[in-house]
Structure 1
C-alpha cells in the first residue's frame, strides 16, 4: 500500500522512471590501446529534450552510483534516485527546463557492461578478462550514448567526486560540444592518500577466499572483502566532526562495555550496516576496476600540465568544494579554479561550509541548488540572449 507521504514524494519528484538500455557493437579504443565491445549502456532521462536539442544536461555518478539519479522505479520504491534532491521540477536541475541524462559507467554493475557482464565470445562473465579502464574510457561510452540520443550540444555536464573527474574529461575531449561544467567535490588527480585507501579496499576483496581470482559468479561472492572495502571507503566520505556529532562514543544497545570483540559502539554498528547493504547491491570486481580507474586519473600528468589540458576548453565552469572534505579537500578544487583563471577561462567557485565531509555533495543540496540554479541561468542567458 502506498502512503500519502510516498505519494507526496512522487508528486514532488520526476515521478516514476524507467531505466533504458542502449547497445552498440562497434568497439571503442580504450586508453590502454585495446579495442573493446560490444557495450550496453544503462541510462535514465528526466524532463523533455527541446526542439533545438540544446537543453540537455549530463549527470555523472561517483564510484558506487548508477543510472538511477532521480525519481522512483515504482510506487512501492522507498528510496528515490541518488540525486533526487537536485533533479526534478523546480530543483537545481529543473526538469521543467532541462533534459537530464544519467547513465551507469563502463565497468559498473547496474546495467552497463562490466566484469559481471557476459562475454559474447565465451558466454561466461568477463570477470578478470574485462579490460582495465580509465575515466576517459567511461566518457567515450557516454559520448556514444549522447550521439545515439541525437544530441550535438550539452548545456552542462556535472558530477560529484568521480563524476567531477568525468565532467572535466568531457570538457577536455569535447570542447565544442560542452557549454558548461559543474565540478563538485572533485580533483584533477587522485592523491597518494586516495590511492592508498583504494588499495586497502582492493586488498580486502582480493584477500577474501571467495574472490577466487575474480571467478565467483557461479558460487559465493566475496561478501566479507567487499563489505570491509566499503567500510574503509565510507570512513573517507565522512569527517571527524560529522562522526562525533552522529555517534560520539555512544554504545550500541548496551549500557556499559562488554569487554568482547562484539559490537560495542554505534559507529561500529553503522559501518557494519553500510558494508552489508553495499554487498547486496554492488559487484566486487566492479569495485576493483572502478577504483583502479580513479587511481589512474591524473589530468596534469596525462596532458603535460593542468594549463595545457584546459587550454582548449570553451566551457564555463562552476567548481564547488566542501570545507570538511578531507578526501578531495578544497585546495584541490582551488587548483582547478586558479588554473582556469590564469588562462582566462570563465569560472565560479564556492567552498561550502559543511560538517559532512566528502558526502556533503549528496547532502548539502540546498546550498548547491542555489549555486547551480544561478550558474545555469547565467549560462543560458549568455548563450541565448
Structure 2
C-alpha cells in the first residue's frame, strides 16, 4: 500500500527552500520496528513497488527468496517527482534545481520520520545504486551493507554526454518520451544482445528490432510523465559523492558499511572498468569492500535480467544466519 510522508522545510543543495515535498513509499515483509530494514532504491523508470503484484524485483524479493520478506522489512521510497503517486500536482517542473544528494537527504528524512535509525542494507540498481552511495556518505554510521549495482559513485563524461542527448530529445522532440526511450534502450543493452535476439528478422516488412524499440517507447509514454523523465534523467548528471566535499578515498574511509560493488561486465552506461578502479582503490585501505561482476551479453539491464547470478552474489549478504547478532536500533 502506497503511503506518504510530508517532508517539510527542505533546503536544496542550490540553496533554494521547499516548504513541503511529498515522499511516497511502500514497505513489505515484516512490520517496521520488528526486523532488520532493507532499503531498496529504484532506477530511472522504476518505483516503490519492488515485490508482490507487478513487483519489478519479484525474482529477488519475497517470501523465501534471496531478500526474504519473512525475515526483513523491505522499504522502498519513490524519488519525489517520479509520478508513481498518480497525482499530477506532485510532479516537479523545476527539475534543474534538484540533485541526487537532495533525494538522498529526503530519503533519510523519511527514515527519520519512520524512526528507523539503523539500516541492514541499502541496495539499488543504476540511479538507485547511486542514491545508495550518497545515502551512505550522508550517514556513514547507519548502514551495515551498501550494495550499489550497475552504477557508480560519480557521473563520468560518458554518462553526462548521454544525459545531455536525452535532455535535448525530451525538450525538442514532438514525441519526447518515446523518442528518448529509443536512444536509451540502446544504452541499456549491447550490440551482441540485440543482434542475437532479432537476427535481422522482419514482421510485415518491418524489422523486429524497430518494432521492439517503438513498443518500448509507447509503453513508457503510457506510464510515465514527461516532467518525471526530465527529472530522472537530470539526476544522473548530478551523481558525485565528492561534490563540495573531500576526495573520494577520504570520504569512503569514514563509512563503516560493508561495501559490495556489483558491476555488469558489458555495461555500456556505468562501465565495469570504473567500478573495478573504485574497488582497487578502496581495498588498499578498507578490508570490508567486495567486488562482484555479473557476466552477461545484455549490458546495463542485466541487473533486471540475470537474476540467478545476482541472487548468488546477494545470498551470502542476506543469509539469515548473519542476522542473529543484528539488532535493529
Provide the TM-score with structure 2 as the length reference.
Answer: 0.93
Query: Cα offset for 1:131?
Result: 6.0
Report 1:139-288 matches (<5 A). Answer: 139-208=104-173, 224-254=175-205, 264-288=206-230
Query: Cα offset for 1:106?
Result: 2.2
Cα 1:131–1:245 shift into 2, 3 Å:
closer
CA deviation profile, 1:99-156 (whole Å, cap 9, x unmatched)? 000111023211299xx425xxxxxx7534x661111111111112212222110000
| Residue 250 of structure 2 corresponds to residue 308 of structure 1 | yes
Query: Cα offset for 1:167?
Result: 0.7
The question of whether the paired residues in 1 share the 8 Å contact of 2:92 and 2:227 is answered with no
The question of whether the paired residues in 1 share the 8 Å contact of 2:35 and 2:71 is answered with no
The question of whether the paired residues in 2 share the 8 Å contact of 1:299 and 1:305 is answered with no
Distance 1:329 1:205 in 2: 24
Equivalent position SS for 1:303: coil
Question: Which residue of structure 1 aligns with residue 43 of structure 2?
Answer: 62
Equivalent position SS for 2:223: coil
2:89 aligned to which of 117, 126, 129: 117
Equivalent position SS for 1:180: strand
Distance 1:37 1:249 in 2: 54
The question of whether the paired residues in 1 share the 8 Å contact of 2:173 and 2:179 is answered with no
Question: Which residue of structure 2 aligns with residue 105 of structure 1?
Answer: 79
Distance 2:172 2:114 in 1: 42
Distance 1:292 1:367 in 2: 30
CA RMSD of aligned residues (A): 2.0
Cα 1:353–1:381 shift into 2, 3 Å:
farther
Greater share of strand:
2
Cα 1:375–1:306 shift into 2, 3 Å:
same
Cα 1:126–1:181 shift into 2, 3 Å:
closer
Question: Which residue of structure 1 aligns with residue 240 of structure 2?
Answer: 298
Provide the TM-score with structure 1 as the length reference.
Answer: 0.80
Distance 1:322 1:236 in 2: 13
| Residue 1 of structure 2 corresponds to residue 22 of structure 1 | no
Unaligned runs of 5+ in 2: none
Query: Cα offset for 1:274?
Result: 0.4
The question of whether the paired residues in 2 share the 8 Å contact of 1:181 and 1:316 is answered with yes
Distance 1:322 1:237 in 2: 11
CA deviation profile, 1:4-48 (whole Å, cap 9, x unmatched)? xxxxxxxxxxxxxx2222224x21111111111311111111111
Question: Which residue of structure 2 aligns with residue 36 of structure 1?
Answer: 18
The question of whether the paired residues in 2 share the 8 Å contact of 1:306 and 1:339 is answered with no
Unaligned runs of 5+ in 1: 1-17, 73-79, 119-124, 210-223, 255-263
The question of whether the paired residues in 2 share the 8 Å contact of 1:40 and 1:112 is answered with no
Cα 1:126–1:196 shift into 2, 3 Å:
closer
Distance 1:132 1:107 in 2: 12
The question of whether the paired residues in 1 share the 8 Å contact of 2:24 and 2:80 is answered with no
Bigger-Rg structure (1/2): 1
Query: Cα offset for 1:321?
Result: 0.9
Equivalent position SS for 1:164: helix
Equivalent position SS for 1:32: coil
Equivalent position SS for 2:165: helix
Question: Which residue of structure 2 aligns with residue 214 of structure 1?
Answer: none
Query: Cα offset for 1:338?
Result: 2.0
Ranked by relative contact order (alpha carbons within 8 Å, sequence separation 6 or more), the top structure is 2
1:346 aligned to which of 288, 292, 312: 288
